[in-house]
Chain A
């Protein structure tokens, strides 16, 4: 299917651009009694706030609904890697706060865990600060969202650092296996390309492309502020109106995700990697998006297969000496059930594959035991409780759920879905999706001693 570009209604955009008022959208109580408040400014900026006053600190994050998938599908870009490179550029300074003032000022206020990440479907920026510093931080964050200085010198230097990051990624056989697997499993969907891009793509991005990306996607109507900690919702909203309220909404491209054709037969690829000293098996079964109800039983199956000392894959592959580690579960994105097995030296991927196939065959014929189901459910609870125990991890939890599903409460609601799931549901889901003809397989093998692949030095200047 062709990807298409649909403009939002002009009226809507103009209305957004008038800015500076807000509405309270909801006030939700989650299972442990804590409250999450949701607001939206008239320019479209969403705010989520969860007050916690045990310590005078808070975590602040801003999430943009843009990732590598969007750039690849955008007819003005058609490349991958700019979303990630741009995430680096956001630390390069503005007219008011030139590089390195942003990081110096946030450091001065005692910011902890400051960083940013880019993935297929979103980009986020985050830090934790003493709550008394909130207003200054919001001034800085809003300034770089609107007034970033994108100049050639900084852009080219940052490309050098990103190429370094890419090379580190490519030196890791596991990362290469994942890239190759997604390229094999998806022919049309942009998951075919990795998030960071190729070296040629990174070096080839232009300032015009960077400016287009910034002006288009770093818009208030494409962003959500998430604050968890020592903050009253009304105060956060007031500050958001002050610092973000005058930002005009932007016309966001509406890009249809190409429909990936049904997979009809198994796909396989073998890769030789110079850094690998033993084999690695990675498999991807195509499944519906993680937000689909159909994936709920598959998530529980993942805990059954991969969590803890009693995990089935551990018992079948690690305890038997076939593998060093083994896991299987649904990815947040791309939409696959991903298996990853690191083989013991001198063991082969085919052995692991036979074991997994036999186990999946059993799971499709009979439901897991009541005890195994109880184990999976309570391990999910333990994981959830750990995820939300600290301000920063709870902020991240809410953000990921919002970006994936549009529902920041999904991570809590899914526990109820787990409780309603039965062993039979798991059996049915395994039978429906974990079939050989629905999977792609990549095996990474050591390169052997015949090929000389070391890279000679390429000049003496940084890009």
Chain B
């Protein structure tokens, strides 16, 4: 197999591999300079996320970070946002279990003024009581509104069962009951836990030389106190060897939503590439995977079906669950569930075919340039490398790594990582329809061999 990647990529990868470390003198600062860019983008990554929120106040990290966008000590929310937006800038924040990430973008000519505002927002947030109350109402309304969003509901129900009794059990935004318990007096301590020198990583993609930007970032970083980074607790769910079926009861859906998951892998798992190839063949490739070919293309039961190791977002310190998600027409919901499960058992037992893996290798090797074809993507790769030790391989190394993996190694990696029956299955549909379909599909099985509904949740219970 010939690798068809240009020399430019080799240069980019050499730059990527330059080590950026955590030190007492300056923060990790990652840069991508591209003179053709019309905007400057910044990410400030705070290495503390929702997994460290107090159990009864889940959603606190998300709450804090959104409150920080609502004014500074010197500017009201209106003055801050109005100034930012008049610059042609935008600043937003996203929280996950491991991190809080402030992301911003501005038209290039206003880069310096924009970075000053970002600094003001992070170093001197107002965190005032009035905005706290407004935001609390807003977040509560958003959580309540999730009852209208079936994909979100079934995802939360899955998460609750999969990560039961661990910090990852609750949604990043919290639930109605945990957000209710968040008080204004919780905000300042949370801010101090998140924002100290040893928790921050800065990443910038810009048309300009990094010298001036580096100076501004260093000034910002020096305004934070020292602190100790607390590594997140890594959660390893313990699942039963029999599938656990959860139903979110929503009457009158014409589509069922299915999320089924098993324990997955961390970013630097030694079997990362073997499992990536296995997943390509089984369910991740949009049109050529087994799941798509059989359940969508041949049977026509569902519009969407795919599998992923990235179910918690980008791979991280946490072994993100391996998830298969589909949205079959309601009359095919249980059929889709059983067919997917049967295909998985066959995959575990018999492995993948040489042709499937050959296709996977070619596809993944040839698409490797897309990991690096823009400044923002290169920056994203650098961040994942720094935070989660995602390996940075040259195109040759990447190709050699993938090509050296055999079908037998892939089968062994899948068998080591996975289990035919160790699933948490969450289904959103009318429970009476699901019950009837389960009876129909299992009528020839003895009672003790049947898949049974473990728990039925209402949408209200999911968000509580």
Q: Which of B162-170, B210-218, B329-337 contacts A (4 or more CB under 8 A)?
A: B329-337
Q: Is the CB of A382 within 8 A of B366?
A: no
Q: Is the CB of A454 within 8 A of B363?
A: no
Q: Does B368 contact A (CB under 8 A)?
A: yes
The contact string, 1 if C-beta is below 8 Å from chain B, for chain A 130-171, is 101100000000000000000000001111111111011011
Q: Is the CB of B287 within 8 A of A100?
A: yes
Given A109-B366, A164-B303, A324-B141, check contact A274 B329 (CB 8 Å): no
Q: Which of B32-40, B220-228, B400-408, B419-427 contacts A (4 or more CB under 8 A)?
A: B32-40
Q: Is the CB of B141 within 8 A of A321?
A: yes
Given A100-B293, A389-B39, check contact A274 B369 (CB 8 Å): no
Alpha-carbon distance between A91 and B285 when the two chains are bound, in angstroms: 15
Q: Which of B56-64, B79-87, B192-200, B264-272 contacts A (4 or more CB under 8 A)?
A: B79-87
Given B37, B287, B296, which contacts A389 in the complex, CB threshold below 8 Å?
B37
Given B39, B301, B362, which contacts A382 in the complex, CB threshold below 8 Å?
B39
The contact string, 1 if C-beta is below 8 Å from chain B, for chain A 260-277, is 000000000000001111
Alpha-carbon distance between A112 and B329 when the two chains are bound, in angstroms: 28
Q: Does B447 contact A (CB under 8 A)?
A: no
Q: Is the CB of A382 within 8 A of B89?
A: yes
Given A55, A160, A458, which contacts B373 in the complex, CB threshold below 8 Å?
A55
Task: Classify chain B: how many residues form its interface, as a range.
Answer: 35 or more
Q: Does B46 contact A (CB under 8 A)?
A: no
Determine how close the nearest CB of chain B comes to the CB of A431; give it in whole angstroms: 25
Measured between beta carbons, the chain A residues less than 8 angstroms from B288 are 100, 103-104, 107
Q: Is the CB of B145 within 8 A of A378?
A: no
Task: Classify chain A: how many residues form its interface, as a range.
Answer: 35 or more
Alpha-carbon distance between A296 and B81 when the two chains are bound, in angstroms: 25
Q: Is the CB of A457 within 8 A of B436?
A: yes
Within 8 A of B (CB), among A416-461: 447, 452-460
Q: Does B106 contact A (CB under 8 A)?
A: yes
Nearest A residue to B106, CB-CB: A382
Q: Is the CB of B252 within 8 A of A453?
A: yes
Alpha-carbon distance between A112 and B77 when the two chains are bound, in angstroms: 41
Measured between beta carbons, the chain A residues less than 8 angstroms from B188 are none
Q: Does B316 contact A (CB under 8 A)?
A: no
Q: Is the CB of A157 within 8 A of B253?
A: no
Q: Is the CB of B252 within 8 A of A107?
A: no
Given A100, A130, A459, which contacts B297 in the complex, CB threshold below 8 Å?
A100
Q: Is the CB of A456 within 8 A of B433?
A: yes
Alpha-carbon distance between A103 and B288 when the two chains are bound, in angstroms: 7
Q: Does B367 contact A (CB under 8 A)?
A: yes
Q: Does B5 contact A (CB under 8 A)?
A: yes
Alpha-carbon distance between A378 and B330 when the two chains are bound, in angstroms: 46
Given A133-B4, A462-B301, check contact A171 B88 (CB 8 Å): no
Q: Is the CB of A54 within 8 A of B34?
A: yes
Measured between beta carbons, the chain B residues less than 8 angstroms from A342 are 145, 148
Q: Does A212 contact B (CB under 8 A)?
A: no
Given A55-B372, A163-B329, A277-B147, check contact A371 B82 (CB 8 Å): yes
Q: Is the CB of A385 within 8 A of B39?
A: yes
Alpha-carbon distance between A318 and B301 when the two chains are bound, in angstroms: 39
Measured between beta carbons, the chain B residues less than 8 angstroms from A378 are 85-89, 107, 110
Determine how close the nearest CB of chain A comes to the CB of B303; give it in whole angstroms: 4
Nearest B residue to A370, CB-CB: B86
Q: Does A23 contact B (CB under 8 A)?
A: no
Q: Is the CB of A321 within 8 A of B287?
A: no
Q: Does B359 contact A (CB under 8 A)?
A: yes
The contact string, 1 if C-beta is below 8 Å from chain A, for chain B 82-112, is 1001111110000000000000011100100
Q: Is the CB of A278 within 8 A of B144?
A: yes
Alpha-carbon distance between A56 and B302 when the two chains are bound, in angstroms: 36
Q: Does A374 contact B (CB under 8 A)?
A: yes
Determine how close the nearest CB of chain B comes to the CB of A386; give it in whole angstroms: 7
Given A164-B329, A278-B148, A455-B433, check contact A56 B367 (CB 8 Å): no
Given A107-B287, A277-B148, check contact A161 B303 (CB 8 Å): yes
Q: Does A375 contact B (CB under 8 A)?
A: yes
Q: Does B365 contact A (CB under 8 A)?
A: yes
Alpha-carbon distance between A171 and B151 when the two chains are bound, in angstroms: 11
Within 8 A of B (CB), among A338-386: 342, 344-345, 371, 374-375, 378-379, 381-382, 385-386
Q: Is the CB of A164 within 8 A of B327?
A: yes
Q: Is the CB of A459 within 8 A of B286?
A: no
Question: 5 pairs across A/B with beta carbons < 8 Å?
Answer: A55-B369, A130-B5, A130-B367, A378-B88, A379-B85
List the 3 shortest-distance A-B pairs measured between CB atoms, nearest first.
A160-B300, A110-B366, A378-B88
Binding site for B on A (CB under 8 A): 32, 54-57, 91, 99-100, 103-104, 107-112, 114-115, 128, 130, 132-133, 156-165, 167-168, 170-171, 173, 230, 274-278, 307-310, 318-319, 321, 324, 342, 344-345, 371, 374-375, 378-379, 381-382, 385-386, 388-391, 447, 452-460, 462-463
Binding site for A on B (CB under 8 A): 4-6, 8-9, 34, 36-39, 69-70, 77-78, 81-82, 85-90, 105-107, 110, 134, 137-138, 141-142, 144-145, 147-148, 150, 250-255, 285-288, 293, 296-304, 327-332, 335, 359, 362-370, 372-374, 376, 430, 432-433, 436-437, 440, 459
